[in-house]
Structure 1
Amino acid sequence: MILTPIEFGALVLGLIVIWVSISLYRLRPILNFAKNYKGYKFYPVLGNYLTLWKRDLYKVHLQTTKELGLPCNLWFGHNYYYLTDDLDVIKVILNHPATIDKGKLYDQLEIVFGDCLLLVSGDTWKDKRKFFSKSFTQSKLTGFVHHFYQNSIVLLDCLKNSGDGDIFHVMGRYTFDSFCDSFLGKNYGLQTNAKNKFIERIDELQAFAGNHFLIPVSFYLPIRLICILGSGTRILKTVNELKQFIKRIIDNKKDELAQNPVVDNQLSFVDIMMSDNQNLFPPEMIQNEFFLFATAATDTIANTSSYIMILLGIYPDIQEKVYEEIITEIGKDKPIVPEDLNRLKYTERFMYESMRIIPAVPIIVRYTTEDIPVGSKVIPKDVNVSISTMNVHRNEKYWPNPMKFDPDRFLPEEVAKRNPYCYLPFSLGARNCIGKNYALLSLKVVIANVVRNYKITTKYKSIEEVPLRSYITMRAAISPDLHFVPRN
């Protein structure tokens, strides 16, 4: 039997009505939970789209929390997000075995990174985390300081010649070269090769993910199908371009290892995966994991170091204290070694305060795979619990006068007074950032070498003047006003 267009349309409409009815029926526990909290009007299929469609992810969280307060509800289609800055909830969510999975927000990254450490769940994640942790021991990280320093020397020339260039891209090239030096033993020279657009392409991917996350079709269709349509075809080309670049790096390393095997105590996770003789690590897995780590290190450290430079410009008195400590503890021209970094106590406190006021990752999302008791309430199964890092870090309940920039908040006696869950730049719990100590060492080196060589200035007079945006990580919405003046 051939259906007429009207009959076919009626059939499709009927199937949609049945699907919506079944979906809403299954959502009853979550709908009952959500009634206890403020939220925008929920529409079947659309969720809160009619309210949120003009906002990027940063504005969603910033404006939503201002308009509704916390905790509150957000609906992306029929995916429910419970936004909170309550430390009791945060502690449970970051440590409960049934919330080890990342939220649905991260599903769009699968097209880029596949089944990588960031996206897998359960026992698979535990096995991968255990494997990769061996490459981030303190002894191995200490050995990376030399690479950070050597690349920071190149960075000094790049900053001198950057003019009005985007500081985020400049710092991104530095962090990528440092990462490859550290884990591959080879420098790919992005800092001196303006033709390589790896950093810019990563920006494009973030923008695509952020812009498409709030489109209703993305609530229900796989990201791969969405990418076949409309502007997604360009993103598929970008993903392929990036993967081809990473593949060339991996292939070069394989050839190098075949000719010059690395001794066991020098092996990084890349070396181990590539030296595998039991086929435990297929080529696609090696590529995905390297792509993830390279991108994560490049993006988060580049963004953090960039707004650290902006903050140094905003607060010249603090910049001077950092400078004086660096000159006292390291000197003007001495190569930077690991022992030097341990003595930079004020610089370290400045770093921590920078990551408080502008966290690199403004939200942490975990997915509940069962009902989670938290105090007097129970968060239902299948909820995306969204921890608003920005709100936690700027909450006056936890931080007196939160918008005041004060590195001495991180004096040992002040830290001892606070709940540890009010500071989450690297998250906490089992699924915290595996590269935390790598990032801190890299940041210390780049701050020390840049500040002892340049005085940093900006037109901005306060943090509030810096326009921010976030898709996945936080950065300035436009190329910020920033100038590097050589010191005598």
Structure 2
Amino acid sequence: MSVILHLFIAILSLIVLLLFDYVRKIQFYKHAAKIPGPKALPIVGNALRFIGKDSSAAHDILLDIAERYASPCRLWLGNKLFVGIYEPEQLKTLLTSPKSMEKASLCSLLRPWLGNSLLIAPVPIWRAHRKLIQPAFNPQTLRTFVHIFDKHSKSLVQKMEEELEGGEFQVGSYMISYSLNVALESTMGISETSDSKMYTRYTECVNRTMELIMVRGLRLWLHPDIIFNLTKMSKEFYKCITWMHTTAHSAYDTVAVSLQYIMLMLASYPDVQEKLYQELKHIYGKVIPENLSVATEDLKKMKYTERVIQESMRLFPTVPFLTRKVVQDLEIGGYTLPQGSTAFISVIKVHRDEKYWPDPLKFDPDRFLPEEVAKRNPNCYMPFSIGPRNCIGSTYAMMEMKTVVAKILLKYVLKKEKIQPILTIKQRVEIVAHPVEPITIEIVKRLPNTFNT
């Protein structure tokens, strides 16, 4: 049999399979056809736009689609339908409906690493686990973590002394060591380690694992385990996971990345930094920073500090895109999201939408004054998601970040020689939105009881 005949049979078989799939899911395709979105090619859909693109380029493509099309909008990757959602009321419907409570099938790519954690567990397991874990995040229990935040913040500030008078340095390694130490002690009882090689290896494994998951997610042919397990990517993926499981099993990365952006914003906006410092001076008076211990009552008084963190997380949400599996037809925005589709939530799009945030690329913590918050739809800000499957550790994370920001600002003035416009700060999306270029700042020792500019 000739090669041409083999090819003809293969093409004919593919056409028959596609026709069969269309007839079997005709209602699915009818609903999908009504949803606006970029023109899709037969068979491959819009997948060609992502072929050969790195995670930073994929991030920009997704944002471009969100800018061009109103919510909801559709995107085809092969025969898989993704529907972008980025209007507050639509987000509320999606994230509170029992028809879309399941995490998307793409999240199963995380299961070898995270197992059935709250992040990706099927609904029945998630409900049971959340009920068990919830007491650990009540106010009384959270108070017991503050001394851990304080201890490791003090250690971080001491380590940063070696950067004094040395110009700009990469802040990422310091934030990673801090947040990883906090995670290890608060979840596993492991005291601080000074093993820099362990930090480096752990961070490399986390970053590479997330990168491989992102690459696999954009290559549909690698989704089946039977194919993926034959690749070199698979060997590297499982090697990283095995090492991480022998060291720790925690998701510290979101806090570490958030802190990097917060440090950048404070260094870039000295007026904001000074206002935050004055709040801390008001709380602590003339206490020498090295002798200071942060208490729960102090954290409650850090209103402006919290607004700074909130504004940084608005502009740079650590998880800028979320997905949900639609298990029953769901009406949103006048369209039907058909059963079997995947809802794709653009957090960063709604966080930077001028309809809800005037001058959206301006860094302005006063957007989160109570009177300003009252004017906005509450669903247009979701750094920790919204609805039943929101982040259970949001209060914990805010307390942790307040503590370390306070410790750093009481001891150092943060500076940035070249202020980069927010629009040009590029991110790569590997589940968590890491900066493409490492974030660098300079620190200067803060003179006691003086105003620093």
Please report the TM-score for the alignment, with normalisation by the length of structure 1: 0.83
What residue is the counterpart of 1:184 in the other structure? 188
Q: Quote the Cα distance in structure 1 between the aligned partners of 2:228 and 2:203.
A: 24
Distance 1:467 1:349, change over 3 A: same
Structure 1 position 28 matched with structure 2 position 26: yes
What residue is the counterpart of 1:138 in the other structure? 139
Alignment partner of 2:113: what SS? helix
In the TM superposition, what whole-angstrom CA distance separates every residue of 1:244-302 from its partner, at most 9, and x where no partner exists? 223xxxxxxxxxxxxxxxxxxxxxxxxxxxxxxxxxxxxxxxxxxxx2xx12xx11100
What residue is the counterpart of 1:267 in the other structure? none
Letter in 2 for 1:303: V
Report matched runs for 1:158-177 at 5 Å.
158-161=159-162, 166-177=170-181
Q: Quote the Cα distance in structure 1 between the aligned partners of 2:384 and 2:125.
A: 21
Alignment partner for residue 365 of structure 1, among 323, 327, 350?
Answer: 323
Contact 1:389 1:425 in 2 (8 A): yes
Structure 1 position 200 matched with structure 2 position 204: yes
Q: Quote the Cα distance in structure 2 between the aligned partners of 1:184 and 1:110.
A: 21
Letter in 2 for 1:173: S
Runs of 5+ in structure 2 lacking a partner? 448-453
Distance 1:67 1:154, change over 3 A: same
What residue is the counterpart of 1:400 in the other structure? 358
Report matched runs for 1:172-251 at 5 Å.
172-189=176-193, 192-196=195-199, 197-218=201-222, 220-222=223-225, 225-246=227-248
Letter in 2 for 1:142: R
Q: Quote the Cα distance in structure 1 between the aligned partners of 2:156 and 2:264.
A: 16
What residue is the counterpart of 1:19 in the other structure? 17
Contact 1:165 1:479 in 2 (8 A): no
Distance 1:16 1:168, change over 3 A: farther
Contact 1:100 1:366 in 2 (8 A): yes
Alignment partner of 1:228: what SS? coil
What residue is the counterpart of 1:467 in the other structure? 426
Alignment partner of 1:313: what SS? helix
Alignment partner of 1:153: what SS? helix
Contact 1:210 1:471 in 2 (8 A): yes
Q: Quote the Cα distance in structure 1 between the aligned partners of 2:358 and 2:125.
A: 41
Letter in 1 for 2:136: S
Q: Quote the Cα distance in structure 2 between the aligned partners of 1:155 and 1:419.
A: 38
Letter in 2 for 1:103: A
Structure 1 position 96 matched with structure 2 position 125: no
Please report the TM-score for the alignment, with normalisation by the length of structure 2: 0.89
Post-superposition shift, 1:147?
0.4
Post-superposition shift, 1:468?
1.7
In the TM superposition, what whole-angstrom CA distance separates every residue of 1:423-480 from its partner, at most 9, and x where no partner exists? 1011111000011111000010011001111111222243123222212111210212
Q: Quote the Cα distance in structure 1 between the aligned partners of 2:399 and 2:330.
A: 36
Q: Quote the Cα distance in structure 2 between the aligned partners of 1:133 and 1:443.
A: 21
Letter in 2 for 1:324: Q
Report matched runs for 1:33-72 at 5 Å.
33-53=31-51, 54=53, 56=55, 57-72=58-73
Contact 2:331 2:337 in 1 (8 A): yes
Q: Quote the Cα distance in structure 1 between the aligned partners of 2:24 and 2:369.
A: 49
Contact 2:356 2:380 in 1 (8 A): yes
Q: Quote the Cα distance in structure 2 between the aligned partners of 1:348 and 1:464.
A: 23
Contact 1:58 1:362 in 2 (8 A): no
Runs of 5+ in structure 1 lacking a partner? 247-290
Distance 1:59 1:461, change over 3 A: closer
Structure 1 position 303 matched with structure 2 position 257: yes
Distance 1:60 1:332, change over 3 A: farther
Alignment partner for residue 317 of structure 1, among 256, 271, 274?
Answer: 271
Post-superposition shift, 1:5?
8.1
Contact 1:227 1:236 in 2 (8 A): no
Post-superposition shift, 1:12?
5.5
Q: Quote the Cα distance in structure 1 between the aligned partners of 2:3 and 2:117.
A: 44
Q: Quote the Cα distance in structure 1 between the aligned partners of 2:7 and 2:232.
A: 24
Letter in 2 for 1:64: I
Letter in 1 for 2:37: G
Letter in 1 for 2:203: I
Alignment partner of 2:232: what SS? coil
Post-superposition shift, 1:370?
0.3
Q: Quote the Cα distance in structure 2 between the aligned partners of 1:179 and 1:403.
A: 32
Post-superposition shift, 1:40?
3.0
Q: Quote the Cα distance in structure 2 between the aligned partners of 1:455 and 1:228.
A: 52
Contact 1:372 1:378 in 2 (8 A): yes
Alignment partner of 1:395: what SS? coil
In the TM superposition, what whole-angstrom CA distance separates every residue of 1:282-334 from its partner, at most 9, and x where no partner exists? xxxxxxxxx2xx12xx1110011110000111111001101111122124422
Alignment partner of 2:340: what SS? coil
Q: Quote the Cα distance in structure 1 between the aligned partners of 2:441 and 2:96.
A: 40
Contact 1:98 1:369 in 2 (8 A): yes
RMSD: 2.3
Q: Quote the Cα distance in structure 1 between the aligned partners of 2:269 and 2:305.
A: 13
Distance 1:109 1:393, change over 3 A: same
Q: Quote the Cα distance in structure 2 between the aligned partners of 1:452 and 1:45.
A: 58
Contact 1:58 1:471 in 2 (8 A): no
Contact 1:452 1:487 in 2 (8 A): yes
Letter in 1 for 2:395: N
Q: Quote the Cα distance in structure 2 between the aligned partners of 1:382 and 1:482.
A: 46
What residue is the counterpart of 2:412 in the other structure? 454
Q: Quote the Cα distance in structure 1 between the aligned partners of 2:413 and 2:195.
A: 23
Post-superposition shift, 1:413?
1.3
What residue is the counterpart of 1:278 in the other structure? none
What residue is the counterpart of 2:451 in the other structure? none
Q: Quote the Cα distance in structure 2 between the aligned partners of 1:207 and 1:65.
A: 23
What residue is the counterpart of 1:85 in the other structure? 86
